[in-house]
Amino acid sequence: MNQLDALKQFTTVVADTGDFKQLAQYRPQDATTNPSLILKAVQKPEYAPLLGETVERFRAKPLDETMDRLLVRFGTEILRIIPGRVSTEVDARLSFDEEATYTRAERIVELYEAEGVPIDRVLIKVAATWEGIQAAGRLQRRGINTNLTLLFSFCQAIACGQAKVQLISPFVGRIYDWYKKTAGSSWDESARAGANDPGVQSVRQIYEYYKHFGIATEVMGASFRNTGQILALAGCDLLTISPELLAQLAASEQPVARALDAAAARSVALEPVNHDEASFRWALNEDAMATEKLAEGIRAFAVDAVKLEKLMQAA
C-alpha cells in the first residue's frame, strides 16, 4: 500500500488545487480552492477557454459577480470528479467587513444552487479575522457551511469553535516558514521536523483541544511544505494537500502510523478557553507569527484576486 492510500485509513484526504483535471488519479474526498490557485489554473492553456466562456457569458455583470461565477464554474467542475465538498473563497479584500463577507458568501451559494449543486457540497472559505469568524457564525446558523482559512493561532481556533463553524484550515507550512526565517542560521531542520515542526505542533494543539472538549468543528491541516509534515498529522480530521505532494505520497510505500488520536486527546488535561472580541484581538496581537502571516496571507490573496480580475477584463 502506498502512503497516500495508507493515510486515507486515518484521515480524509483533500486536494488543494484549481487544476481539476489532476484530481481523478488521487481520488480525494474533498477539494479546496482559493484565488491564487484559480489564477494559476486559468493561465494554463487547457483552462483558458473556461475563463473566456465565463467572461463572455456574463460580460454585462459587475466584475465581482463575474469573479464569483468563475470560482463557481471551477467548483462545479471539481464536484463532477470528487464525491465530497468543494471550498470556494470569499474575496480576501472583504476580510475586515462582516456584512460584505456574509452577503458575498450568500451569493456564491446561490450561484452554486443555480447550477444544481446541493448546499451541503459547498464550504465557503472565509479568512479567520474577527469579522470573518462572526460572518461565518451567521452563515452557519443559516445552514451555510464554512471553512475558516488563514488560521495561524490558537485564539483563532478558539473563536472559530465558539462560532460553531464547520471546518478550520490551520496553515502548517506558513507557520513553519515564519519560524524558520526568524531563526535564521540557528534553525536545525532535523530537530524541528515531524512532530517537532512548529506548524505540526500548532495543529496538534488545536486538534487535541477540540476533541477534548467535544467541539464539532473539523480540523483540516493545510499549506504543507513536505510529506513529513503531512505524515506527522495522520489522524487529523482532514488534510488538504497539493497535487505535487499527493504524487510524492502515492510514490512511496514507507509505513504510515496514526499520529493524532481523538480518544487520546480526551484524556489530556486541558483548561477551557473563551474569547470575546477584545481578548481575541489581544491574543492575536501577542502572537507575532500569527499577526504577520494573517496580514501577509490576506494581502497575497487580494493581489491575486486583482490579477484574476485583470485577466477577465482582458478576455
Give me the residues paired with residue 220 across strands: 238
Amino acid present at 239: L
* Nearest-angstrom CA–CA distance, 245 and 202: 21
Closest alpha carbon to 82 in 25, 144, 165: 25
Element (H, E) at 222: none
Dist CA 268 CA 7 (whole Å):
24
User: Can you tell me the distance from the alpha carbon of 208 to that of 180, in angstroms, rounded to the nearest whole number?
Assistant: 25
With contact defined as beta carbons under 8 Å apart, do 253 and 2 qualify? Answer: yes
Judge whether 7 and 236 are in contact, CB under 8 Å: no
Residue among 34, 47, 32 nearest 84 (CA): 32
Report the first-to-last Cα separation within the chain, whole angstroms.
45
32: which 3 cell numbers? 479546496
Helix-, strand-, coil-residue percentages of the chain, each rounded to 5? 55, 10, 30
Q: Which of 21, 40, 125, 293 is labelled catalytic?
A: 125
CB of 233 within 8 A of CB of 7? no
- For residues 222, 18, 133, 115, the Cα torsion angle rounded to the nearest 10 degrees is -140
- Tell me, yes or no, if 293 is annotated catalytic: no
Catalytic residues: 125
